[in-house]
Structure 1
Amino acid sequence: MAVTKLTIFHYNDLHSKFDQWPKLVSFLEEHRTDNTLYFDLGDHADRTHPATEVTRGKLNVRLLERLQPTAVTIGNNEGITFPHDWLAELYEEATFPILLGNVYEADGSRPDWVEETLVLERDGLKIGLFGVTAPYEELYPELGWQIESPYEATKRALKQLAHCDVIIALSHLGFFGDERLADMYPEIDVILGAHTHHVLDEGVMTNGVLIAQAGKYGQYVGEVTLILDGAEVVEKEARLHELSHQAESTDTLALLRSEGAEAERLLDITIAETEGYASDWFGHSPLGELLVEGMVEWCAADVGIIPSGVVLDGLAPGNVTLNMLHRICPHPINPCVLTLDGNTLERFLHDVNEETFTNMHVRGLGFRGTVLGEPSLNQIEQRDGQYYVMGEKLEPNRTYRVATVDMLTFGPLLPYLADQPKRYFMPELLRDVLRETIVARHEVIRKG
């Protein structure tokens, strides 16, 4: 029986870090053949970049279209930081397949831009592909989507692909989700992973399934090699290619420069003129206080608590432009209201004032800053060691509606908040609230 070699290239979590993209394109163009496979594993787009913001992610799709990947799946940045209409229209000009088995329209129908599975033929082999993304069960419905367990979606996909010689999963579940997938479904040959930004130099073998992941931001391209004897996979290998010394694709570089300049121009819109707002991560932060005040109003909450580190810089006196707000508040983070009893609110206040919290360098969870910083508060003050809420002493058994940032409710930072009653405000981002608050205050000042 014939021995066949199958070569796969993959990368993940670019997050619109376009400085690496020309190198990544150059590398893949050098290694492209008719038989190699190329995959993007999601979070290619990130609204922290002005060009992604102003094009609603269409620039990212145009870049992928030029590269012509074999297939892609989506990450949480496309899935839950884009408004419904942005994602619904994102891939309308794409000619490459988008594999996604566990996201549906609100009525349960599959989006018309999605394929659940795909079967390719190479050298007489049938290669089965499917994609799944992280199931943010509380967030997708807020945007008008239904989300399904990726493990149930995988079970269904594997039935459809049972006739294939090789099965490859495109996953944006994160490494630990991939391990669970491998434990549950050993018939998968390779899981190409993302989301947790793991740098897996030689991949990880779990239950006979090869899990590969290539870091983040286009620093690496992963390569997976499968050796088949007839229709049987007899060898699996993974490696990473570090791209720091890779030459750049000149036409890609020129396109990005042009798009970046256009994005800057489109965001150079003045929304207000102010006397300026200072920002301080470890002291009095007027801009942080303005944002949390605006969030309390936006969310119809009683009080507000946010880390001052979500505001990266202050505003100088004079004109305020959309570009400024995007720069100082770039995070794909949404407002959230928690319903807390007084005891839990006091614990929350204690924890966000702890030095270990205020000095924490956070990666992920939508945070694009440096450190969390001390809390900016609204309708809360501390006197003589006692918290006062809305002018009265905090009552342990009273219920309070607390406006905060969604990243604090996901579990890793303050696990007890994940189980509290909450409502996410989507698709609005923090900078949307800051913009509307500045405009409202500016109008009051101007009228006065």
Structure 2
Amino acid sequence: MAVTQLTIFHYNDLHSKFDQWPQLVSFLEDRRTADTLYFDLGDHADRTHPATEVTRGKLNVRLLESLQPTAITIGNNEGITFPHDWLAELYEEATFPVLVANVYEANGERPDWAKETLIVEQNGVTVGLFGVTAPYEELYPALGWQIESPIEAAERAIGKLSGCDVIIALSHLGFYADERLAERFPEIDVILGAHTHHVLDEGVVTNGVLIAQAGKYGQYVGEVTLSLDETGVTKKEARLHDLTHHTKSEATLHVLRSEHEEANRLLDVTIAETEGYGSDWFGPSPLGDLLVEGLADWCDADLGIIPSGVVLEGLERGKVTLNMLHRICPHPINPCLVTLDGKTLRRFLDDVQEETFTTMRVRGLGFRGTVLGEPSLYQVEAVDGHYHVAGQPIQDSRQYRVATVDMLTFGPLLPYLADQQRRYYMPELLRDVLRETIIDRHHLLQKE
């Protein structure tokens, strides 16, 4: 066969940051042809954006539908920040394939919205596709899903695609997991990656497998070109296109403005009137204090500990609307109850008050703020240099039920918390706790 070229466009981790979406649409409309492939690699939707929130992600699917991707996979934002029914219904009107080989219903059946593999033919070349997403083993079951090892899922999928000229993995595993995937399966030609937001200008070749990833938020579109002859793939090239100064799709700008206005209208619902609550990441934070007290009640805990930086701003005196709460607490973060002995609890309290912790700028883990800030505490005080809980000194041998935020227990920030007994409250988000706490406090004030 003569030398054939296959052109692929890809991007990842938009996170409902729609500022660059009109440029991305314009770029793909200009550059795509009937002979190119185009993929979204997950985390297109993020509940941080009010229009994603009020449409339960359907806006994101409509935006994708207008571009007709060859296929997509899901990220952790679709997988573990959406309630089960949101994800189950998310793609019901989509005509493009959603490839996820390692997510199942609780009964072990593949969801209606997901396909394990897909084979497409392009210029006489058969292209085998499969998708895998990051295996959050504690979180998917809490939402009514089963999650499988991506290695096991990939092995099964690759077996089904073994007769294809090209095999492409749509991965929302992260760059380092992609490298492990490449080491394990050299028969994959290309891994289109996501999750860790790596900017791979020319891709990375591991064990003969080209790994491509295009940053985040739609700043880049990746382009992969494969050359094939009768022996198979002979050349693999990757590059990134910076969309910062690319022309914008006027039609897309109009759609986004309209959707944002409608979302703000739907969230303009008053839930309470308050005297106002201030917020300070490095000083007294009445709103943070209110939230941590509500969180402890929500989790039926002995005490509460949260970084004050999860509250982005305070509340002025007067009406409180859902839109305000979404702006103040936009994170897709869940309540968490962790059980600690007294010694570990003291360590936790010391660590969250260290300057290196309070001034840390965090990206990911569900956090959508700036810095972590000093902790807001409930039922905790220091007396003569010793911590007390509910007026009693902390005892080493006692087990304490601590209400906190899930992001602190994932490992990167405080690794020892990942080894403790814990329970995640899902699908409730932190702003749900804040809403219910304000409503309860408002009712109490009215009764008084």
Alignment of 1:9-408 (within 5 A): 9-408=9-408
State the shift of 1:413 in Å: 0.3
Taking the aligned partners of 2:60 and 2:122, their CA distance within structure 1 comes to 28
1:176-221 per-residue CA deviation (whole Å, 9 max, x = no partner) reads 0100000000000000000000000000000000000000000000
Q: Report the counterpart of residue 433 of structure 1 in structure 2.
A: 433
Taking the aligned partners of 2:101 and 2:390, their CA distance within structure 1 comes to 47
SS of equivalent to 1:130:
strand
Unaligned runs of 5+ in 1: none
Taking the aligned partners of 1:216 and 1:104, their CA distance within structure 2 comes to 27
Residue type at the aligned position of 2:315: L
State the shift of 1:76 in Å: 0.1
Alpha-carbon contact 1:71-1:98 (below 8 Å) kept:
yes
Taking only aligned residues, the RMSD between alpha carbons, in angstroms, comes to 0.5
1:96-147 per-residue CA deviation (whole Å, 9 max, x = no partner) reads 0000000000000000111100001112211000000000000000000000
Q: TM-score, normalised by structure 2?
A: 1.00
Alpha-carbon contact 1:4-1:230 (below 8 Å) kept:
no
Taking the aligned partners of 1:353 and 1:117, their CA distance within structure 2 comes to 48
State the shift of 1:230 in Å: 2.1
1:295-325 per-residue CA deviation (whole Å, 9 max, x = no partner) reads 0000111100000000000000000000000
Taking the aligned partners of 2:383 and 2:215, their CA distance within structure 1 comes to 47
1:245-299 per-residue CA deviation (whole Å, 9 max, x = no partner) reads 1000110110000000000000000000000000010011100000000000001
1:6-27 per-residue CA deviation (whole Å, 9 max, x = no partner) reads 0000000000001110000000
Residue type at the aligned position of 1:393: P
1:152-189 per-residue CA deviation (whole Å, 9 max, x = no partner) reads 00000001000101000000000001000000000000
1:392-429 per-residue CA deviation (whole Å, 9 max, x = no partner) reads 00111110000000000000000010110000000000
Moved over 3 A (4+): none
Paired residues in the alignment total 448
Taking the aligned partners of 1:294 and 1:10, their CA distance within structure 2 comes to 42
Alpha-carbon contact 1:277-1:315 (below 8 Å) kept:
yes
1:366-392 per-residue CA deviation (whole Å, 9 max, x = no partner) reads 000000000000011112110001110
Unaligned runs of 5+ in 2: none
Q: Report the counterpart of residue 410 of structure 2 in structure 1.
A: 410
Alpha-carbon contact 1:178-1:211 (below 8 Å) kept:
yes
Taking the aligned partners of 1:54 and 1:145, their CA distance within structure 2 comes to 23
State the shift of 1:231 in Å: 4.9
Alpha-carbon contact 1:125-1:231 (below 8 Å) kept:
no
Identity %: 78
SS of equivalent to 2:19:
coil
Taking the aligned partners of 2:352 and 2:85, their CA distance within structure 1 comes to 35
Taking the aligned partners of 1:68 and 1:216, their CA distance within structure 2 comes to 20
Residue type at the aligned position of 1:11: Y
Mean alpha-carbon deviation: is it higher for 229-238 or for 140-149?
229-238
Alpha-carbon contact 1:71-1:99 (below 8 Å) kept:
yes
Q: TM-score, normalised by structure 1?
A: 1.00
Mean alpha-carbon deviation: is it higher for 225-234 or for 405-414?
225-234
Alpha-carbon contact 1:4-1:228 (below 8 Å) kept:
yes
State the shift of 1:228 in Å: 0.5
Taking the aligned partners of 2:255 and 2:439, their CA distance within structure 1 comes to 34
Taking the aligned partners of 2:69 and 2:250, their CA distance within structure 1 comes to 19
